Structure 1
Amino acid sequence: MRQISESKRNNVVQCLSNGFSARETASKTGVSKRSINRISQVTLGVKSKPRIGRPLKVTSTNIDYIVQQVTKNGIQSASKVSQILSNDLELSLNATSIRRLLKTLGIVPLIKRKKPLLRKKNIADRVAFAKSHIAWTETNWKHVVWSDETKINLFGSDKIHWCYKRKDTQLKQQHVQQTVKHGDGLFIDGNMDKQLYKTILQEDLLRTLEDCHLNPKDVVFVHDNDPKHKSILVTDWLNNQEFEAM
């Protein structure tokens, strides 16, 4: 079946919304009546036929306004678009009809991808890290011991966030959900400081290496750039260990 272009779909929707029959719409747009009936059912929820009385309220201007709300203004739900139409244009159009319209225009809902909220320095550091380890093999990474972290939600939640995006277009800022990770490795009673962190490394890290039968000379210990981790007290202790700290 031949794919109908987005512009032709828009023309069909506009003609049907203005009260033209399937035959009249076919004559004006060059789209078959069968395709027009299918578009009408998806978009308007009814079969195309000559209308009696008032034409539908959805005009080409209304359609452009709806598309703008979800593609440029980043409105994330059809219900919210319905409220905006009611407030701004005094147009009553329910969320279901808006979803059908957007689907006909090739604009589909998707779950936002989660993306860490990073500063430019964070991004540069990550790129540098990736480039410096691009040649590492699976064997290399098996010698890496990562500091464990528990995720604590201090920024947003784990619920699913939806948005709208045109098919075959790149992700934009409005299509991702910014995330921030936080948390220290062990559950502790009180505040973590450099002395306590050093104690944890001395007792728990070394014991972990022993329990896992890992030779410290072959181990790379990785932790983040928290100020406590980079303190002179901790750095001096790490420099005197057999394992490498990254």
Structure 2
Amino acid sequence: MPKLSEDRIADVLALLDSRLSYRQIAKRTGLSIGSISNIRAQYRPDIENLPAGRPPVLSPADVRHAQRLICSGKADTATKATSILRNITNKSFEPQTLRNALKKSGMKAVVKRKAPLLTKRHRRDRLDWAIAHQHWTLDDWKRVFWSDETKINRFGSDGRQWVWKQTGEPLNPRLVQDTVKYGGGSIMVWGCMTWEGTGSAVKIDGIMDGPLYTQILEEDLRASCEEHGRQLSDIIFQQDNDSKHRSRIATNWFQDNGVEVMDWPARSPDLNPIEHLWDHIKRKLAEYEEHPRGILELWDRVQEVWRNIPPEVCQNLIASMPRRVQAVIKAKGGHTKY
């Protein structure tokens, strides 16, 4: 390379400091790309590598704008955000371009979680409940008997199941979720738990109304208390606001037996730790290598899994109550991660 004057070298260094590409500097100075590279290696060895290839269609400001559109709820999808940005920036680009930029910025697309619709009244009730219980200690929560009902399918979850797939792996039984016309059957189960462990689990035959629910309370809740050395009058009983739970016959039973029923905000499964106990049970049922041959075998498996739940599982769930309460307060009565 011919010896360059100090002025020419200074011009190249100034252009390098301005973050121009080698090609742009070569066009301005008439020097070869090799000469510019040598100058950089000698005088600017620590300068960051310049981005190679085609410049990005979306500027950092465009990506930040897309993030604001998504985080504010004005655009749920990359397709919607792309449509809005096209009108604002007059740039032509595809939704996949924006998806790539959002991924690079640290965002990722996830399946929306299903959760009960919360109106302003629901949010206010949830927040009021959380504030009323924010100073409860673990000993307070230990007094609560948690209850709920759930549906358990013979052929597993109603929702999507995920599996890892190798590149180019053909369709095979491992990648298929078995289905049966009309679902293959299911059972409804009522259960309760407390700090000492699980209580009774009951298979519900037919439609559960007020009288049947009261029968479960009389036989199975009472038996659960006796199993754990508790008196009905000493516990706080949690149930949701289903009409059969609030029926006159059930209300009279609670009053006659001196059972304190916890006030419960509507549409708040995230506050009930037994919901996660059902998840635990369904994961254990999914570990069986073969599907149950019928409803009776499904119930046998449910009972076996229920009996083998260690008290520590219930205790870990109940110990999360202070965190759940604080999460509702932080969300101002809105949805929580639970």
Aligned-residue Cα RMSD (Å) equals 4.5
Paired residue for 1:231?
Answer: 247
Paired residue for 1:136?
Answer: 136
Following superposition, the deviation at residue 101 of structure 1 comes to: 3.1
What is the CA deviation profile of residues 76-102 of structure 1, one whole-angstrom value per residue up to 9, with x for unaligned ones?
A: 45xx589979xx99957584x545533
Pairwise mapping of residues 83-98 of structure 1 onto structure 2 (< 5 A)? 95=96, 98=98
Based on CA coordinates, which of the two structures has the bigger radius of gyration?
A: 2
Equivalents in 1 of 2:208, 2:240: separation in Å? 15
Equivalents in 2 of 1:57, 1:136: separation in Å? 54
Say if 1:93 and 1:245 are closer, same or farther in 2 by CA, change over 3 A.
closer
Paired residue for 1:243?
Answer: 259
Equivalents in 1 of 2:253, 2:228: separation in Å? 22
Relative to the length of structure 2, the TM-score reads 0.41
Equivalents in 2 of 1:211, 1:237: separation in Å? 20
Following superposition, the deviation at residue 103 of structure 1 comes to: 5.3
Paired residue for 2:75?
Answer: 74
Paired residue for 1:196?
Answer: 212
Paired residue for 1:222?
Answer: 238
Paired residue for 1:124?
Answer: 124
Equivalent AA in structure 2 for residue 142 of structure 1: K
Equivalents in 1 of 2:107, 2:134: separation in Å? 36
Relative to the length of structure 1, the TM-score reads 0.53
Paired residue for 1:6?
Answer: none
Equivalents in 1 of 2:118, 2:99: separation in Å? 33
What is the CA deviation profile of residues 25-49 of structure 1, one whole-angstrom value per residue up to 9, with x for unaligned ones?
A: 9xxxxxxx94462xx3xxxxxx25x
Say if 1:143 and 1:56 are closer, same or farther in 2 by CA, change over 3 A.
closer
Equivalent AA in structure 2 for residue 191 of structure 1: I
Equivalents in 1 of 2:245, 2:209: separation in Å? 9
Alignment size in residue pairs: 178
Following superposition, the deviation at residue 143 of structure 1 comes to: 0.6
| 8 A Cα contact 1:218 1:243, kept in partner | yes
| 8 A Cα contact 2:145 2:236, kept in partner | yes
Equivalent AA in structure 1 for residue 216 of structure 2: I
| 8 A Cα contact 2:75 2:81, kept in partner | no
Paired residue for 1:109?
Answer: 108
Q: Which runs of 5+ in 2 are unaligned?
A: 1-18, 26-45, 163-187, 191-201, 263-338
Quote the sequence identity (%): 31
Following superposition, the deviation at residue 223 of structure 1 comes to: 0.6
Following superposition, the deviation at residue 134 of structure 1 comes to: 2.3
Equivalent AA in structure 1 for residue 128 of structure 2: A
Equivalents in 1 of 2:247, 2:217: separation in Å? 13
| 8 A Cα contact 1:82 1:92, kept in partner | no
What is the CA deviation profile of residues 84-128 of structure 1, one whole-angstrom value per residue up to 9, with x for unaligned ones?
A: 79xx99957584x54553356x46226477454322222222122
Equivalents in 2 of 1:184, 1:119: separation in Å? 29
Equivalents in 1 of 2:47, 2:133: separation in Å? 57
Following superposition, the deviation at residue 216 of structure 1 comes to: 2.3
Say if 1:133 and 1:101 are closer, same or farther in 2 by CA, change over 3 A.
closer
